[in-house]
């Protein structure tokens, strides 16, 4: 039980790291320029709460243009309006901006003036979800840590788009129109600190090439991916959470070593075309294989053979394979659960068939 609790805490920590590391920086007022020296001018279209003087709330107002942003503002909320363009002029004094939310507008790539975003040298969070973008906007400020572009019409990533975004930790491109030809081998070059990459709900048939080495969370659900190249995971040695639900993966499309990757802790392969359980690492803790075409579980094949180093003072029970959760429902497997499955994976706490 204590081990499970520790794992849950670790998962929450890793999942939230992408957010919390940057959020702390947003709230730390290390700048020598104090907002209190500025006036409290507030655009008449917006609301400026006296208790939160660095925030400007302009959401849900039917705005068609971005108002002039006062220099004291760090947090700008413009979501759910009718804005089509992002010109430079409204931001000419907004040198302190850390957070911009422009979700649910009508912004196109043609409507973004070239220097409008790149001039914001302290910007950390940029939300452009639910707009009309057809490619990833560029140029963007080097300071950026999170870029949210879900539910647009993105089908292109211009060369060099990410080349200067070395601080980016999260890139969300889910629910767009990306095809395999959107990627070149150097598309993600420059993303040295990227930890989470979400490209779920696109039209990919292949795994994206040459992902950043620090990627820890890779989400590719709801594509049409048929296979994974041999040694694909060698370039992302830190990947811990891998989601490939709702694809077209078959046994023939998997690497010979399956998913025997020591860094992967959570593997989701639900709603594919697998007929057998793939090889896994002894370090894997959660495995989702529901709604495939699996008829039986060959434990002699899937039971990890690579031993985990056993400290002299610890018992072998605690240091066997780490699998704790296994989901196999929606296949052609009939109970009972094979006894040798429980013997191999002695830490299993839930098996769903």
Give the per-residue pLDDT at 334.
85
Give the per-residue pLDDT at 39.
58
Q: How do strand 125-127 and strand 146-148 relate by DSSP bridges? A: parallel
Give the per-residue pLDDT at 301.
85
Give the per-residue pLDDT at 318.
56
Q: Could you tell me the mean pLDDT of each successive run of 10 residues in the chain, 353 residues long?
A: 50 50 44 50 94 96 97 97 98 96 98 96 98 97 98 97 97 98 94 98 97 98 97 96 98 93 97 96 97 93 69 56 96 87 93 91
Full-model pTM: 0.88
Give the per-residue pLDDT at 311.
53
Write down the residue that tokens 């060959």 correspond to.
298
């Amino acid at each position: 039980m204590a081990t499970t609790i520790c794992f849950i805490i670790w998962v929450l920590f890793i999942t939230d790291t992408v957010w919390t590391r940057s959020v702390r920086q947003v709230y730390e007022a290390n700048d020598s320029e104090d907002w209190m020296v500025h006036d409290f001018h507030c655009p008449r279209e917006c609301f400026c709460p006296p208790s939160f003087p660095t925030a400007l709330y302009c959401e849900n107002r039917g705005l068609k243009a971005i108002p002039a942003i006062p220099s004291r503002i760090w947090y700008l909320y413009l979501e759910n309006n009718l804005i089509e363009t992002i010109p430079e002029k409204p931001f000419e004094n907004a040198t302190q901006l850390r957070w911009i939310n422009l979700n649910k507008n009508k912004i196109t790539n043609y409507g973004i003036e070239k220097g409008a975003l790149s001039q914001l040298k302290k910007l950390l969070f940029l939300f452009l979800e639910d707009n009309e973008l057809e490619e990833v906007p560029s140029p963007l400020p080097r300071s950026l840590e999170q870029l949210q572009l879900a539910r647009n019409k993105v089908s292109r990533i211009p060369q060099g788009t990410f080349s200067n975004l070395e601080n980016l930790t999260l890139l969300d491109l889910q629910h767009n129109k990306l095809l395999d030809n959107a990627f070149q081998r150097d598309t993600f070059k420059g993303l040295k600190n990227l930890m989470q990459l979400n490209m779920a709900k696109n039209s990919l048939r292949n795994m994206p090439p040459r992902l950043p080495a620090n990627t820890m969370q890779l989400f590719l659900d709801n594509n049409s991916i048929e296979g994974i190249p041999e040694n694909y995971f060698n370039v992302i040695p830190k990947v811990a959470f891998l989601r490939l639900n709702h694809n077209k993966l078959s046994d023939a499309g998997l690497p010979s070593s399956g998913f025997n990757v020591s860094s992967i802790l959570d593997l989701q392969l639900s709603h594919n075309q697998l007929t057998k359980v793939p090889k896994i690492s002894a370090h894997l803790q959660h495995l989702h294989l529901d709604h495939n075409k699996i008829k039986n579980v060959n434990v002699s094949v899937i039971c990890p053979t690579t031993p985990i180093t056993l400290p002299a003072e610890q018992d072998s029970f605690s240091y066997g394979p780490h699998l704790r959760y296994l989901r196999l429902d929606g296949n052609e497997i009939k109970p009972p659960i094979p006894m040798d499955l429980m013997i191999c994976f002695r830490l299993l706490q839930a098996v769903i068939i």
